[in-house]
Chains A and B, each alone.
Chain A
Amino acid sequence: MFFPAVASAMAERVGPALVDVPPHECPGTGSDQAGKAAACQGCPNQGLCSSAQPAGPDPAIEEIKEKMKTVKHKILVLSGKGGVGKSTFSAHLAHGLAEDENKQVAVLDIDICGPSIPKIMGLEGEQVHQSGSGWSPVYVEENLGVMSVGFLLSSPDDAVIWRGPKKNGMIKQFLRDVDWGEIDYLIVDTPPGTSDEHLSIVQYLGATCIDGAVIITTPQEVALQDVRKEINFCRKVKLPVIGVVENMSGFVCPKCKKESQIFPPTTGGAEMMCLTLNVPLLGKVPLDPQIGKSCDTGQSFFSEIPNSPATLSYRDIIQRIQNYCSHDRPQEERKP
């Protein structure tokens, strides 16, 4: 016999647990395989999943659409490959755009397991504040706000050991519950791959029209083969590709000033890939050890090394992205 209090406590526990832990092979309720996949055989929810219409879009998508009305341009920074410079690029795209004091810029870091943006932007140890209108981003400058899971961790050793659904929940919160305010550019930095984080950000921002994705790669084939997958991902989810940036493209020895290819473009590099896949190449950024150093100390290398070829190349790329956002695709033409 149960005491009512115990019974109700158990009911509370059991309820969310059933929702939180789907069987491992569960295709998910949003999938068209819901209730039909091999893994659904014997699942108590099979009937529900296969008979009903797919549960309908997440109500959060509408809420996020409302929230994002104050955000003019949304740019995703993607790469299939890790360590190619997505976060470095995101941070410096933001720095570059924010040089215009009349523009409000925000960076959202959805690399939940490996957030690098706080370090690169010199915000390590900062905490997010809660206000009446939601979480406030952390500001680097008056017109440059940043949000990252890094601000929610209590120690640099904290690991975020989360499976997909929890990561998706966090991304949803970042979009819905952060008090972004009026923003000209929202730059979303992503982890490598084509999985939960990527699907979620595209899904949650789906009703708001994303300007497009900037794809970062390095010149060698081992990176390019993953980046091609990412471009195919963009095509699958109908995300426009603004263009490709080839990072770490050649290294000029600081002593003899001769150039070497640390990551040799044995299959023609990003240039060849862009030709084959018919996407624009936004530019090539040479390897400059100063870039890594600035990132480690949380400085913008635009101010640290204003005349380096890497900085100049960055500026050129940022200009092209700005042009893309303002001219190429006027607001009204973009379909949600």
Chain B
Amino acid sequence: MEAEAERGNLAGVQHIILVLSGKGGVGKSTISTELALALRHTGKKVGILDVDLCGPSIPRMLNVQERDVHQCDSGWVPVFVDQDKTISLMSIGFLLEKPDDAVVWRGPKKNALIKRFVSDVAWGELDFLIVDTPPGTSDEHIATVESLRPYQPLGAVLVTTPQAVSVGDVRRELTFCKKTGLRVIGIVENMSGFVCPHCSECSNVFSKGGGQELAQHAGVPFLGCVPLDPQLTQSLEGGRDFIQEFPKSSAFPALVGITQHILSMASPRSS
């Protein structure tokens, strides 16, 4: 096992969770953000590391896109989302001069920055570090998994949408987890059905059940379906706390269920 001193800036981090998907736009950043907010509501201290270098979404979802990262003796100070410093965030979004600047980088440069993100961010004491990733199984993923390996991540949450086109890509991501020895915490099916706000009819905009089928097929836990919920999208657009503001919404129970699953998985290890 690693000695405490060697863990450096991640020494105070209890559990590391990766949020992955082979497919883009399925809600990895949404799930990462909501997971962080839900864990915060159970009294945990959470950090989010956004390794999506070409399309960082989390700063906006937490309404901190204007903030800057500062240096301290032990490295970069992450951006704190709230006064109590219960959620901290590191993202390339904070390092760009203009928000619309394109990060046109090939793999080696991306790998170098991810290594720095893993080693040089002064997270302090955290119960959970959630790592939000870009779609695919390439440089960012290899670099993230390799540099986090010494810290034994708790595992990966895989996000998919229900349709076959998306499930196909997530199957490949499962193979990635297997090959890299990353435990799969479970699969989340996002955008699962849309309840019409006018007539309450539920439409399966992106079909239904693909995530659950995949979980069964692959023999990994199914963490639940998160429906398409305009209240959720709106809170993310405005950077508001969905978990606090909309406890009655349709997506809320699903998100809380996923959080409970992760908490129960984490507890035997922390004791």
Question: Using a CB–CB distance below 8 Å, which chain A residues touch chain B?
Answer: 22-28, 39, 80-84, 87, 112-114, 116, 119-120, 156-165, 167, 191-196, 198-199, 218, 220-223, 225-226, 228-230, 232-233, 236-237, 251, 253-256, 258, 260-264, 266-267, 287, 289, 292-293, 295-296
How distant is the Cα of A232 from the Cα of B98 in the complex, in angstroms? 11
Chain A residues within an 8 Å CB radius of B136: 113-114, 191
Instruction: Write out, one digit per residue, whether chain B residues 97-132 have a CB within 8 A of any chain A CB (1) or not (0).
Output: 001111111111111100100000000000000000
Taking the complex as formed, is B197 at the interface, i.e. its CB lies under 8 A from any CB of chain A?
Answer: yes
In order of increasing CB-CB distance, the 7 nearest A-B pairs are: A82-B24, A83-B25, A164-B107, A193-B54, A113-B136, A256-B199, A159-B175
A-B contact count (CB 8 A): 228
- Tell which of B79-87, B228-236, B250-258 binds the partner: B228-236
A222 touches B112 (CB 8 A): no
Query: Separation in Å of the B234 CB from the closest CB of chain A?
Result: 6
Q: Is the CB of A258 within 8 A of B196?
A: yes
Q: Is B134 an interface residue (CB 8 A)?
A: yes
CB distance A253 to B165 under 8 Å? Answer: no
**Contact pattern, B 216-251, Cβ under 8 Å of A = 1, otherwise 0:** 000000000000101001101110000000000000
Q: Which residues of B contact A83 (CB under 8 A)?
A: 23-26, 135, 161, 166
Residues of B within 8 A of A22 (CB): 108
Chain B residues in 8 Å Cβ range of A253:
196, 198-199, 201, 203
* Assembly CA distance A237 to B104 (angstroms): 10
Contact A266 B24 (CB under 8 A): no
Query: Does B207 touch A at the CB level, under 8 Å?
Result: yes
Q: Are A158 and B175 in contact (CB under 8 A)?
A: yes
Q: A194-B54, A253-B196 are in contact. Are A264 and B106 (CB under 8 A)?
A: no
Residue of B nearest to A267 (CB): B237
Interchain CA distance A144-B55 in the complex, whole Å:
32
* Closest-CB distance, B80 to chain A (whole angstroms): 21
Interfacial chain B residues near A113, Cβ < 8 Å: 22, 135-138, 172
Contact B168–A225 (Cβ < 8 Å)? no
Confirm or deny: B174 has a beta carbon within 8 angstroms of a beta carbon on chain A.
yes
Separation of A199 and B105 alpha carbons in the complex (Å): 9
**B101 pairs with A260, CB closer than 8 A:** no
> Do B61 and A82 have beta carbons less than 8 Å apart?
no
Binding site for A on B (CB under 8 A): 22-26, 29, 53-55, 57, 60-61, 99-112, 115, 134-139, 141-142, 161, 163-166, 168-169, 171-176, 179-180, 194, 196-199, 201, 203-207, 228, 230, 233-234, 236-238
Q: Which residue of A lies closest to B113 (CB)?
A: A25
Selected from A229, A251, A296, the residue in CB contact (under 8 A) with B54 is A229
- Residues of chain B within 8 A (CB-CB) of A295 are 163-165
Closest to A24 in B: B111
5 examples of A-B residue contacts, CB within 8 angstroms: A164-B108, A196-B107, A255-B196, A256-B199, A296-B163
Kindly list chain A residues whose C-beta atoms are within 8 Å of the C-beta of B23: 82-83, 114
Cβ of B27 to closest chain A Cβ, rounded Å: 8
Residues in A with CB closer than 8 Å to B57 are 222, 225-226
Residue of B nearest to A37 (CB): B109
**Cα–Cα distance between A23 and B109 once the two chains are bound (Å):** 10
- Once the chains bind, are A164 and B205 in contact (CB under 8 Å)? no
> B179: which of A28, A161, A289 is its contact (CB, 8 Å)?
A161
Report A227 CB to chain B, min CB distance, Å. Answer: 9
Check if B107 sits within 8 Å of A195, measured CB to CB. yes
In the complex, which residues of chain B have a beta carbon less than 8 angstroms from the beta carbon of A230? Answer: 102
Residue of A nearest to B238 (CB): A266
Closest A residue to B58 using CB positions: A222
Given A195-B105, A289-B207, the answer on whether A161 and B142 have CB atoms closer than 8 Å is yes
Q: Which of B24, B101, B108, B234 contacts A192 (CB 8 A)?
A: B24
Partner of B165, one of A119, A157, A165: A119
What is the bound-complex CA distance between A193 and B234, given in angstroms? 24
- Give A119 to B197 CA distance when docked, in angstroms: 32
Chain A residues whose C-beta falls within 8 Å of the C-beta of B54 in the assembled complex:
80, 192-195, 226, 229
Find out whether the CB atom of A159 lies under 8 angstroms from the CB atom of B173. Answer: yes
Q: Given the complex of chains A and B, what is the CA–CA distance between A82 and B54 in angstroms?
A: 11
- The chain B residue with its CB closest to the CB of A222 is B57
Distance in angstroms between the alpha carbons of A39 and B115 in the assembled complex: 14
| Chain B residue at smallest Cβ distance from A228 | B100
> Are A24 and B24 in contact, CB atoms less than 8 angstroms apart?
no
Interchain CB contact (< 8 A) of A225 among B26, B100, B165, B199: B100
CA gap between A226 and B28 in the complex, in Å: 15
Q: Is the CB of B176 within 8 A of A119?
A: no
> Is there contact, CB below 8 Å, between B135 and A114?
yes
Contacts of A223 in B (CB 8 A): 25
Residues of B within 8 A of A114 (CB): 22-24, 135-136, 169, 172
Whether B172 contacts A160 by the Cβ 8 Å rule is: yes
Contacts of B230 in A (CB 8 A): 260-262, 264
Known: A28-B106, A80-B55. A266 touches B234 (CB 8 A): yes
B214 to chain A, nearest CB (A): 11
Q: Which residues of A contact B25 (CB under 8 A)?
A: 81-84, 192, 218, 223
B108 and A220 contact, CB distance less than 8 A: no
Residues of B within 8 A of A267 (CB): 237
User: Do A195 and B205 form a contact, CB below 8 Å, given A84-B25, A116-B169?
Assistant: no
